[in-house]
């Protein structure tokens, strides 16, 4: 009787379908917030409000050009608005966020983030990692604060750091957030990333990198290159709601919807 019961239990549990694990996050890019521009202030308020009404969101990432001009006042104003988000959020640097010639470099930016955002309290660099349900999310910085330009550049030390982190997490799925795309999503040479070949070559070593989410070009575009999904998202008031389905498998699927805040 015990053998029959044991067999029945095995058959029962083997028939239960495996529930796929899905994860939802939101990407917002190029908000270009300015305390002197009422339209940009209202726009960010509306985006935050809309995101707060999105169900199932686990976190939000702002992928650069968060402010229109580099200044403490603009960044503090931006953070005051996004503080109303009901989920954790992370910030990436873009070409308009920092400029040492205006006395607002990367160190200044990072210090303000540390003081104002819980998720950034222990982050000391514009390159950093966070983890969500076993998936590794990497933020890579291609901005320049000495002579800022619309051409991103991932320097050798950034590539080296990426290599070390990807080696460390080679057994986990990885998603990368950055401002500047490696694969141009549109024909705008003035916004191309400078010498992306080294970065692209590095990625060929790590099939666990599943997607890269970027902004900067102000267009929506998706293309898969060497097994990696390269996603470019249009500037605010648009934002991208992303569902990473089967996120713990070797072949997760990304399904996303562009929404526009009004």
Mention every residue, 6+ apart, whose C-beta is less than 8 A from residue 214: 29, 63, 177, 178, 179, 180, 181, 182, 185, 230, 231, 232, 233
What is the total count of domains within the chain?
Answer: 1
pLDDT for 137 beyond 60: yes
Give mean pLDDT, residues 138-163. 96
Question: Beta partners for 244?
Answer: 23, 254
Judged by average pLDDT, the poorest of 103-107, 112-116, 145-149 is 145-149
* Confidence band for 235, pLDDT divided at 50, 70 and 90: very high
Nearest-10 crossing angle of helices 72-82, 38-52: 30
| pLDDT given at position 262 | 82
Nearest CA among 198, 202, 89, 83 for reference residue 139: 89
Tens digit of each residue's pLDDT (9 = 90 or more) over 198-213:
999 999 999 999 999 9
| pLDDT given at position 19 | 65
More confident residue, 221 or 190: 221
d(CA 1, CA 7): 10
| pLDDT given at position 64 | 98
Structural domain contains residue 6: no
| pLDDT given at position 51 | 98
CATH number at residue 147: 3.60.21.10
d(CA 254, CA 244): 5
Structural domain contains residue 15: no
Q: Is 250 exposed, middle or buried (0-12, 13-18, 19+ CB in 10 A)?
A: exposed
| pLDDT given at position 215 | 98
* Average pLDDT along the chain: 93
Structural domain contains residue 2: no
Structural domain contains residue 5: no
Give mean pLDDT, residues 101-126. 96
Most confident stretch, 15-24, 183-192, 211-220: 211-220
| pLDDT given at position 8 | 46
Q: Which phi and psi angles does 16 have, rounded to 5°?
A: -75, 125
Going 59 to 63 to 68 to 70, the CA torsion angle's sign is positive
Angle at 46 between CA 43 and CA 50, to 5 degrees: 140
Q: Which domain holds residue 128?
A: 22-260
SS (HEC) of 49-97: HHHHCCCCCCEEEEECCCECCCCHHHHHHHHHHHCCCCCCEEEECCCCC
Q: Whole-model pTM? A: 0.92
Tell me the pairing of strands 221-225 and 228-232. antiparallel
Structural domain contains residue 4: no
Structural domain contains residue 16: no
Tell me the pairing of strands 135-139 and 174-177. parallel
């Amino acid at each position: 009787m015990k053998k029959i019961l044991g067999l029945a239990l095995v058959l029962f549990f083997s028939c239960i379908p495996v529930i796929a694990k899905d994860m939802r996050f939101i990407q917002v890019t190029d908000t270009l917030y300015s305390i002197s521009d009422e339209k940009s202030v209202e726009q960010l308020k509306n985006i935050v409000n809309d995101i707060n009404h999105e169900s199932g969101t686990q976190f939000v990432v702002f992928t650069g050009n968060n402010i229109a001009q580099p200044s403490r006042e603009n960044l503090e104003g931006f953070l005051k608005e996004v503080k109303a988000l009901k989920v954790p959020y992370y910030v990436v640097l873009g070409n308009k966020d920092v400029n040492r010639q205006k006395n607002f470099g990367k160190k200044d930016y990072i210090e303000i983030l540390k003081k104002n955002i819980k998720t950034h309290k222990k982050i000391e660099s514009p390159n950093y990692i966070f983890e969500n349900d076993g998936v590794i999310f990497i933020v890579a910085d291609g901005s320049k604060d000495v002579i800022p330009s619309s051409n991103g550049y991932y320097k050798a030390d950034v590539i080296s750091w990426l290599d070390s982190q990807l080696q460390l997490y080679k057994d986990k799925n990885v998603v990368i957030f950055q401002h500047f795309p490696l694969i141009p999503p549109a024909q705008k040479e003035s916004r191309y990333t400078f010498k992306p070949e080294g970065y692209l070559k590095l990625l060929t070593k790590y099939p666990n990198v599943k997607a890269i989410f970027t902004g900067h070009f102000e267009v929506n575009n998706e293309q898969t290159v060497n097994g990696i999904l390269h996603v470019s998202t249009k500037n605010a008031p648009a934002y991208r709601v992303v569902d990473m389905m089967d996120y713990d498998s070797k072949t997760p699927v990304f399904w996303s919807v562009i929404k526009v805040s009004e």
